Structure 1
Amino acid sequence: MEQEKIPDIVKTADEKLPHFEDGRIDYSNAKKAPIVVLFLKYREEILILKRSKKVGTHPKRWGFVAGYLDELKSIKKKGLEELSEETGIERNQIKSIKKKGVYEWRSKEENKDYTSFLFLVELTEKPEIDLSWEHEEYKWIKIKKAEQYLSSNALEELKIVLP
């Protein structure tokens, strides 16, 4: 099996940016930030999560499981950690996980450019969701209803993952 690589953008950030006390890369004042975004699918539905007002970025906005690539780990490994942390879903509940592409976008409110590494996660069954403090609500929705909830950037990501 091929060794999963750490993206160059993460290696560069690790060298040049400050770190939190726990060793994670601090993107707070960075102009660019890489993130992993996981699109959870069970049959014909996708999981969306409403961000808590306690989070620093995009509070109260609907989106997907996501997190900064703030450690020297492969994207897939970091994504699986975020999945477990944000939803309680573990590896044995996953039917398949596939990298679907990369999407670059700008957050005007943060004045930051993001590189989103996108993954489709298909589940074996519809799981119980155990939300972390980062989210306050979740919904399983039909893909055609996504535009009622998601920002334009999240919809663009969804088009890449589920064209």
Structure 2
Amino acid sequence: MNKPLQEKHVVTCFLEYENEILILRRSEQVGSYQGRWAGVSGYIEAETTADEQAFIEIEEETSLCRKDLELIRSGKPLPIEDEKLGVKWIVHPYLFHIKDRDKVKIDWEHKETRWINPRDIDNYQTVPKLKETLAQVYKC
């Protein structure tokens, strides 16, 4: 009999600049999906709202401050099951416009960034259901 999946709430934030979105390649130092492409993401801490966690993750992972960001929309949380990890991710998606993409400086959680046309997301080996998560907040 399969063990029930552990539910974990996370934010995934897409940063947009001039009709391109930022994707980040996860480093070997993170706990899951090493080497996969993703948005800015992280666990929602117990005492924090999803909205607040989105800003926290963006600042930690890209060095951008609130004044560098404009929230375009947040999407409906998306359940994504990963039997292999034993996790049911509840992904809270966000789309932000950024004013200056040259200000993005990544931390240890990522090893590479790309600015891509959102329609090209299928060309990358991403974390599970990144395309569906993006579709919650970005209409091509």
Q: Same fold (TM over 0.5)?
A: yes
| Cα separation, 1, equivalents of 2:64 and 2:38 | 17
The farther-off stretch of 50-59 and 88-97 is 88-97
Percentage of identical aligned residues: 26
Q: Is the 8 A contact 1:89 1:127 kept in 2?
A: no
For residues 1-163 of structure 1, the aligned pairs below 5 Å read 31-149=6-124, 150-151=126-127, 153-163=129-139
Question: For residue 63 of structure 2, what is the amino acid of its counterpart?
Answer: G
Amino acid at match of 2:105: D
Offset of 1:74 from its aligned partner?
A: 1.5
Alignment RMSD (CA, Å) = 1.5
Tell whether the 8 Å contact from 1:51 to 1:59 is kept in structure 2 after alignment: yes
CA distance in 2, matches of 1:98, 1:152: 21
Q: What per-residue deviation string (whole Å, max 9, x for no partner) do you get for residues 70-124 of structure 1?
A: 2311111111010000011111111334212211111122011010111111112
Q: State the alpha-carbon separation in 2 of the partners of residues 58 and 47 from structure 1.
A: 17
Secondary structure of the corresponding residue to residue 100 of structure 2: coil
Q: What corresponds to 1:24 in structure 2?
A: none
Query: Higher relative contact order at CA 8 Å, sep ≥6: structure 1 or structure 2?
Result: 2
Larger radius of gyration: 1
Equivalent position amino acid for 1:124 in 2: K
How many residues end up aligned between the 2 structures?
134
Moved over 4 A (4+): none
Q: Letter of the aligned partner of 1:106 in structure 2?
A: E
* TM-score scaled by length of structure 2: 0.89
Runs of at least 5 residues in structure 2 that lack an aligned partner in the other structure? none
TM-score, normalisation: structure 1:
0.77
